[in-house]
Structure 1
Amino acid sequence: MQREILNPDELAPPSGFNHGVLVDGGKTLYLAGQDASGPDAEIVAPDDLVGQFEQVLSNLSTVVEEAGGSSNDIVKLNVFVADRDEYKAHLDELGDAFGRYFDDYPAMALFEVAGFFADDARIEMEGFAVVDDE
């Protein structure tokens, strides 16, 4: 499987994401929305966006690993947050967390939403991965 990061010169330089990820080969894995639920189905780190972000990345990685891949195989993420300003205020810490899971940022979008299924959730992510088919 080959993967190419695409950031056309005609677009603003990305920060914290890539404009596109072109993948040749592999199998597509559709990742359901993951909140910061731990194995007991309780939200980890209530009132702590960064702690929840870490748990969400761990949950997504667990799903991709079950399919035979790694977090680096995630090519697209939709990030849903309860408070966009809170997310922006923690960009450095969130970027550090991303660096522990990804060599390159996936293509991403950020959405501020009115609420989540779990009352204590501050963030949820869903997306796509392409795992090697060998």
Structure 2
Amino acid sequence: MPVTLMNPEGMMKPDVYRKVAVATGSRQVHIAGQVAYDADGQLVARGDLAGQVAQAYRNVAIALAAAGATFNDVVRLTIYVVDWKHERMPDFLAGIEQVSKELNIVPAPASLIGVSVLFEPGVLVEIEATAVVD
């Protein structure tokens, strides 16, 4: 396995991700921002942050698999959420929980960035991923 995830001593230990990823593989996989579209291009879970987070993660998993990778290979996630407020954290985490066992999500280092709007009305979340594989 080319990726080791850790939380260094002396830093807060978050529940949902690791702060450091060390990768020793030689092939990088960069996944463009994935949103809550299904295979037919229809927006899934309109108005539902948890549902859109889950679908966006599913789409990241599909893209990773196409490149021969899984969430075990992810070294970095960047997550953009429209109109982010800390009060939305339970819905955000509920979306991750919906798919965590289904996708075997490993909590890689992640940045959650609040934005005022994404590229299309109704899209609430976009997730980018970087993975390293042998």
Query: 1:34/1:79 Cα in 2 relative to 1: closer, same or farther (>3 Å)?
Result: same
Q: Following the alignment from structure 1 to structure 2, what is the Cα–Cα distance between the partners of residues 33 and 3?
A: 21
CA distance in 2, matches of 1:40, 1:25: 34
Give identity over the alignment, percent: 27
In structure 2, the residue matched to 1:27 is 27
**Does 2:54 correspond to 1:54?**
yes
Shift in alpha-carbon separation, 1:77–1:98, aligned structure 2, 3 A: farther
TM-score (norm. length: structure 2) = 0.87
In structure 2, C-alpha distance between the alignment counterparts of 1:35 and 1:91, rounded to whole Å: 14
1:4 is matched with: 4
Q: Contact 1:81/1:87 (CA < 8 Å) preserved in 2?
A: no
Q: 4+ residue stretches of structure 1 with deviation over 2 A?
A: 83-87, 97-104
Are 1:43 and 1:118, in contact at CA under 8 Å, matched by a contact in 2? no
CA deviation map 1:77-110 (0-9, x unaligned)? 0110013235313254134135222353010011
Structure-1-length-normalised TM-score:
0.87
Instruction: Name the residue aligned to 1:43.
Output: 43
The 1:98/1:23 distance shift into structure 2, 3 A limit, reads: farther
RMSD between aligned alpha carbons? 1.8
For residues 38 and 104 of structure 1, the distance between their equivalents in structure 2, rounded to whole angstroms, comes to 23
Q: Work out the CA distance in 1 between the residues paired with 2:40 and 2:99.
A: 24
Unaligned runs of 5+ in 1: none
Which residue of structure 2 aligns with residue 129 of structure 1?
131
Which 5+ residue runs of structure 2 have no aligned equivalent?
none
Per-residue displacement from partner, 1:17-50 (whole Å, max 9, x unpaired)? 1101111124111110111111222211100111
2:15 corresponds to: 15
The one-letter amino acid paired with 2:70 is S
